[in-house]
Amino acid sequence: MNVIEIKNMKKNFGDKEVLKNISFSVKEGEVVSILGPSGSGKSTMLRCATFLEKMDAGSLSYMEKEVVYEKNGVFCYPTKKMIREVCGNFGLVFQNFNLFPHYSVMKNIADAPISIQKRDKAEVEQEVRVLLEKVGLAEKENAYPCELSGGQQQRVAIARALALQPKMLYFDEPTSALDPEITAGILKIMKELAAEKMTMVIVTHEIDFARAVSDRVIFMDEGVIVEQGKPEDVIDHPKNERTKAFLKKLSY
């Protein structure tokens, strides 16, 4: 089953065409990494897929249910209520953590499952403790974001996304604000999630990581998908000149 399917997604900012007919799907349990230079449209595509930006054309489906589509020449976009329901399918981890500074670690993670999903508080808090153990922060449930390092904040953000029990996770350059030593710890957690067959779409510049965990790699440039396929094909034996040039720059 496809957890997400995008067909002919387009997005403009004023006169600038940022996404041009983007199409791909992600199956349950699949890990897809999205590579490309800054300004290639990777994050915008992810923001459109998660309703943080409104796409201008195309279709979007979750769990094989079409939620954004065109019918008889009319572009149909879901209501706020429907968007809230669809957002239950995914968790999103940003590069800047986006934790609530006035909430403890426990409240940052437990708040949405309790207030939005209306789940039992004691049950959620017990699940949060299991998640904190999983991300190596068992002793930090009463700490506040200002008391944590960047890497610890990103671990909290991953636990927060997992607490919603999503069908899939999106990562938008989750290690770009972290130093290399801390990055290794975050990538380790993501590798463990991949081994557990968590469906993931990862916008990243970590080429070795993408090669190691991805079932498929997509290379984007100038708002289009230039090349996609198995990591060993796209990363180690790219066919397109733009892909080759991008990877050559990163290898220096």
* pLDDT > 90? residue 167: yes
Amino acid 251: pLDDT: 63
Distance CA(150)–CA(167), nearest Å, equals: 26
For the segment 195-243, what is each residue's pLDDT rounded down to a tens digit? 999 999 999 988 999 999 999 999 999 999 999 999 999 999 999 999 9
Question: 249 pLDDT exceeds 70?
Answer: yes
| Coil, strand or helix at 190 | helix
| pLDDT tens-place string over residues 58-67 | 999 999 999 9
Query: Averaged over 102-120, what is the pLDDT?
Result: 94
The model carries a pTM of: 0.93
Cα separation, 252 vs 118, in Å, equals 50
pLDDT, tens digit, for every residue of 113-154? 999 889 999 999 999 999 999 999 999 999 999 999 999 999
Percentage of residues of the chain with pLDDT beyond 90 = 84
**C-alpha Rg value of the chain to the nearest Å:** 18
Please say whether the beta carbons of 44 and 18 come within 8 A.
yes
Angle at 182 between CA 176 and CA 188, to 5 degrees: 95
Query: Average pLDDT for residues 19-30, to the nearest whole number?
Result: 96
pLDDT value at position 182?
85
Question: What's the pLDDT at 191?
Answer: 93
Average pLDDT, the chain: 93
The backbone region for 222, taken as left when phi is positive above 0, alpha when psi lies in -120 to 50, beta otherwise, is: left
**Is the pLDDT at 252 greater than 70, yes or no?**
no
Residue (of 242, 221, 213, 199) closest to 25 by Cα position: 199
Look at residue 4 and tell me whether its pLDDT is greater than 90.
yes
Q: What is the mean pLDDT of residues 99-121?
A: 94
Does the pLDDT of residue 175 top 90, yes or no?
no
Q: What is the mean pLDDT of residues 49-56?
A: 95
pLDDT at 165 over 60: yes
